[in-house]
Every structure is written in C-alpha cells, then in structure tokens.
Amino acid sequence: MNCEYRNTILKATGVNLTLGKNVILRDLHLEIRDVYRPGYVTGQIVGLLGPSGIGKTRLFRILSGIDRPDTGEVLIGEKCEPVQRGMVGVVAQNYPLFEHRTVAGNLELAARAAGCSRAAAREKSAAALQRFCLEDRADLYPCQLSGGQRQRVAIAQQFLCSEHFVLMDEPFSGLDLIAVEQVSKMIVEVANSHEMNTVIVVTHDIAAAVTVADKLWLLGRDRDARGQVIPGAKVKKEYNLAEMGLTWREGLSETKEFSEVVRESRTIFPSL
C-alpha cells in the first residue's frame, strides 16, 4: 500500500501503573501516526489485543484520560497535548444512551457537553445524523433502535464529544460472523470519514481485531531467564496490517494472509 506516515497523533511514553501490590502496566510505550494515502481520506483503526486480565481495561482508561498512570504520559492530537478526561470518546459495550431522548436529542446533548451553543449543537447533530446515515432515525427513541443502530448512535455521540478520538470497548462481544463484518464495515467508514479520526478497538477477539484494524498491538508481559512472568503488561508485538495489505475489505477473512495472522496471534496468546 502506497502510504506516508506523518505527524504523531497519539503517544504513550513510559506508562506504569500499580494497584495495591499488583503491577498492572510496566514501561509501556505506543504511538499512532497520521497515515496519508494520496487521493484517499484515511483515518486510523488500532486493535488493542490481549488475554483477559492482562490490563486492557486499565490501559483503556488511561488512554481515554479517565485514569492517570503512576508515571509516564499520554499525548494526543496534532499539538500532542496531555490527554484529559473528555478529550477521547468512550463507547462502552452496552452503548449507553439517554432513553428519554430521541436520537437527535442524544446527539445534541453530546454537542452541548462539548461546549457548543444550542444552535451550534443542533447544526452539529444534523451533520452527524447525515454522516452516520441516521437521518431516518432522528426522531426515534433508543428503545426503537436495533443493536447496530444503537452502536452507530453511540459512536456518533462520542465523536461529537471528542472530535476525532474514540475508544471502543469490546464492540464485537456476542456478535456472530455476519454481524462482526457489518460492525467492522461501519467502524472503517467512521474512521475514514476524516483524516484525523482515530478509533482504538479494545478486544480479546483476535479474528475480529484483524478484520477491522490497520494496526494491532498485542499486550503481554516479559519473562525472566527462568521463564517466570515479570508483572506488568506492555505492548509485546505489533502488526502493521495496512502494510501487509490486510485493511478491511469484503471477503478479507477468507484470505490466506488473514488466516496466517490470526493463527500466529493465537499461537502467541498463551505466552502473553
């Protein structure tokens, strides 16, 4: 793939976190750079993978600015500013929405929370409805939406709050293969609607992560000379799926290259 890596738009350096006597994250470093492809609008989708209990949720909270690490820092945006709560949108597993407000009302509320005036919030909400193909759902309430539509509204809501950065927690949980394909397509469309859009998908589903992401981070722990685990997770392996030609497309999961990355990742998982 002919692409150029430009400015850093998210960077974590020397992140350490201990809770009680448990070392959760240790000397963690990661970076996302703006990917530019001539003639295309290209956002970034990163899959954060790791076994249950490895520290994905804690890293999720640190990257979103909800929690702070003991040491280290997370910088985001073109100006590389220290992340603060509210600068990164967070889409939880159950796609929480205000049930007593319409789809348009939920989006307007998100825009108001981001500091927009009432008129500007209405304008941004209308633009988001169009951008996320929700115009015919504007006057419906969350209880009238399908699960996929709720997810789309939740993502739109978070982009209104944070502009370009969104973290998604287990977006493929409980979905069958067809639904995973549909959600993957939607995430790719959202990411590629603006050059600076960056979506980080936190999951333990290897195949789903390889389906949607253009970069994978595998979270794991080092071992000492005797093979004993050294407490504290870090990024142990990274796959640049874009350079491998494995960015999302119809039928990607049926290719040999896709199967090889999934198989290799599954082989690595027990040692993480």
CATH number at residue 183: 3.40.50.300
**77 domain-assigned:** yes
Residue 1 has a pLDDT of 56
Instruction: Please tell me the pTM assigned to this model.
Output: 0.85
**74 domain-assigned:** yes
Residue 25 has a pLDDT of 97
What's the structural domain count of the chain?
A: 1
**187 domain-assigned:** yes
Instruction: Report percent pLDDT > 90 for the chain.
Output: 48
Question: How many CA atoms lie within 13 Å of 106's alpha carbon, on the beta-carbon side?
Answer: 29
Residue 6 has a pLDDT of 83
**41 domain-assigned:** yes
Residue 231 has a pLDDT of 94
257, 247 contact by CB (below 8 A): no
d(C-alpha 116, C-alpha 121), whole Å? 5
**135 domain-assigned:** no
The token duo for 267 is: 């082989």
**110 domain-assigned:** no
**95 domain-assigned:** no
The ranges of the chain with pLDDT < 50 are none
Domain extent at residue 193: 4-90+163-271
d(C-alpha 209, C-alpha 262), whole Å? 9
Tens digit of each residue's pLDDT (9 = 90 or more) over 15-71: 999 999 999 999 999 999 988 777 777 889 999 999 888 999 999 999 999 999 999
**97 domain-assigned:** no
CB atoms within 10 A of CB 98: 13
Tens digit of each residue's pLDDT (9 = 90 or more) over 231-251: 999 999 999 998 888 888 888
Residue 205 has a pLDDT of 87
